[in-house]
Amino acid sequence: MPEFPIAAIATPVGVGALAIVRMSGRGVLEIADRVFRKKGNPEFSFTEADGFTAHFGTLSDIRGMVDEVIALVFRAPSSFTMEDMVEFTCHGGPVVVRHLLQALLDNGCRLAEPGEFTRRAFLNGRIDLLQAEAIGEMIHARTESAFRTAVTQMQGSLSRHLQEMRAGLLQSCALLELELDFSEEDVEFQSRDALRLEVQRLQSEISRLVDSYREGHLLTEGVATVIAGRPNAGKSTLLNALLGQERAIVSHMPGTTRDYIEECFVHEKTMFRLTDTAGLRHSDEEVEHEGIQRSYRKISEADLLLYIIDSSSGDFQKEAVAALELRQSHPEARMIVVANKTDLAQDAAGTIAMLQAETGCPVIAMAASKGEGLSELKTTMAGMVEGLDKLHEASVLVTSLRHYEALRNATDSLLNALQLISDTEATELIAFELRSALDYVGEITGKVVSEELLNTIFSQFCIGK
């Protein structure tokens, strides 16, 4: 259905060679006619132009000519939004672009809201919700692998996968609902054994997708990497060394860092979201105490922990125990032990061997303030998430928290259904659980469920016969 015309600048603000202003919706062809004159053909009208044609001419506002532009015409439904669209390519000055946009607004367009073109593409059925989200992820991708994953998703690989699962679920749901309709006649449209097999198959498929999130979200969100350790161990020095800039304050006073500091850095094809935290110790001082609580919160959200130890302190026996405790209390996270300040240590090699034996983690010897051991640490960090950049090629992945949560809810419903399946009195409850699972999966692609369910029933059976 054609919508009220909207317009927006499609390119970044600032000076550039070219810029694009686009509009979409009912009446945009007439609006374009009011502001545009084609060179050498004053009779030209967009309403008669074919889709996918380009026209060179002048664009004017009430005060006169704004710029020479190229107008691209898209006719519904063959456009991004499936509505009539016109895109103007003009010279890329911020004032030119503003005048051009104003001319469109003066002639009947409304300024588009953020993401409104894509939202229309979704509402008009051009793409599903998942693909709309993938477009956003592709634009914001900071690494090659995040970009590749988004492109795969935009092309609909996860959508197709979910579609197939939905079809399976719909089929089982439809049969159970029929059974309920005919409950007085005591018929079974699908044997409980066949139903169990089907639900088990879907459950394990969805579980696999749920599991893929553990690695998948690292691709798009980056690896949450938390630098933790005792005060003065050299955490902020390490952050600065990894970033290659003096981002955090470094001082010989223990307890310098209070609030945590977050910065991203990309090594090879992986993005790491680095967090420098307040040093871990007992503190009665209010601000430091709050900082340490925040450190623990960050540690609990980490994918990768860099536990840093001052190997010159002589206290490293205790530190090995602390590192091990941290590792055991966060089994989900990978961990690297950094033995820092080796330039001051008595017996660096002995310390490292001991830390390795006690913690079972890779140990990197470093002098962070001198940059020694930095490249080895980076290589080890990359090794901890090895294969990540190839992940998108391997299979269908879940990379967003929204999809992950919906799928986890779906598996819960399917597990409930499996428990009920052998109970012949529980048809209604099983149907309820399957429908919940269907809704959760449908939430991801943005489908409406109940009407679809009805269509499936009627298309497969002649009820009146």
Ligand X SMILES: Nc1nc2c(ncn2[C@@H]2O[C@H](COP(=O)(O)OP(=O)(O)OP(=O)(O)O)[C@@H](O)[C@H]2O)c(=O)[nH]1
By three-state DSSP, how is residue 261 classified?
A: strand
Residue 255 as a binder of ligand X (CB under 6 A): the answer is yes
Give the whole-angstrom CA distance, residue 42 versus residue 32: 13
Residue 263 as a binder of ligand X (CB under 6 A): the answer is no
- x/- mask, Mg ion, residues 232-251, rule CB under 5 A, reads ---xx---------------
The pair of structure tokens assigned to 244 is 């290659």
Choice between 162 and 239, CB closer to ligand X: 239
Residues 167-206 that bind ligand X (CB under 6 A): none
Helix (H) or strand (E) holding 89: strand 85-92
Choice between 257 and 427, CB closer to Mg ion: 257
What is the 8-class DSSP label of residue 303?
Answer: S
Residues 386-415 that bind Mg ion (CB under 5 A): none
Strands of 363-365's sheet in order across: 261-267, 270-276, 223-229, 304-310, 334-340, 363-365
Give the whole-angstrom CA distance, residue 230 versus residue 344: 17
* Total interface residues for ligand X by CB under 6 A: 23
Residue 343 as a binder of ligand X (CB under 6 A): the answer is yes
The single-letter code of the amino acid at 301 is E
Beta bridge partners of 23: 7, 86
User: How many C-beta atoms lie closer than 10 Å to residue 22's C-beta?
Assistant: 25
Residue 262 as a binder of ligand X (CB under 6 A): the answer is no
Residue 367 as a binder of ligand X (CB under 6 A): the answer is yes
Residue 364 as a binder of ligand X (CB under 6 A): the answer is no
Choice between 18 and 344, CB closer to ligand X: 344
Residue 340 binds: one of ligand X, Mg ion, none (C-beta under 5 to 8 A by kind)? ligand X
Strands 223-229 and 304-310: parallel
Residue 251 binds: one of ligand X, Mg ion, none (C-beta under 5 to 8 A by kind)? ligand X
Give the whole-angstrom CA distance, residue 187 versus residue 172: 15
406 near 130, Cβ under 8 Å?
Answer: no
The pair of structure tokens assigned to 118 is 């894509």
Residue 99 binds: one of Mg ion, ligand X, none (C-beta under 5 to 8 A by kind)? none
* Total interface residues for Mg ion by CB under 5 A: 4
Residue among 14, 254, 360, 371 that touches ligand X (CB under 6 A): 254
Residue 424 as a binder of ligand X (CB under 6 A): the answer is no
Q: Is 130 exposed, middle or buried (0-12, 13-18, 19+ CB in 10 A)?
A: buried
State the residue number with the nearest CB to ligand X: 279
For ligand X, which stretch binds (CB under 6 A), given 82-90, 253-261, 349-357, 438-446?
253-261
Residue 251 as a binder of ligand X (CB under 6 A): the answer is yes
Residue 256 as a binder of ligand X (CB under 6 A): the answer is yes
Residue 235 as a binder of ligand X (CB under 6 A): the answer is yes
By three-state DSSP, how is residue 56 classified?
A: strand
CB neighbour list of residue 81: distance below 8 Å, 6 or more residues apart:
24, 25, 117, 120, 121, 124, 126
DSSP 334-376: EEEEEEE-TTT-S-HHHHHHHHHHHH-S-EEE-BGGGTBTHHH
Residue among 279, 302, 404, 442 that touches ligand X (CB under 6 A): 279
Residue 369 binds: one of Mg ion, ligand X, none (C-beta under 5 to 8 A by kind)? ligand X
Residue among 163, 256, 283, 356 that touches Mg ion (CB under 5 A): 256
In the complex, minimum distance from the CB of residue 341 to ligand X, in angstroms, rounded to a whole number:
4
Choice between 283 and 416, CB closer to ligand X: 283
Choice between 170 and 233, CB closer to ligand X: 233
Binding site for ligand X (CB under 6 A): 231-237, 250-252, 254-257, 278-279, 340-341, 343-344, 367-369
Binding site for Mg ion (CB under 5 A): 235-236, 256-257
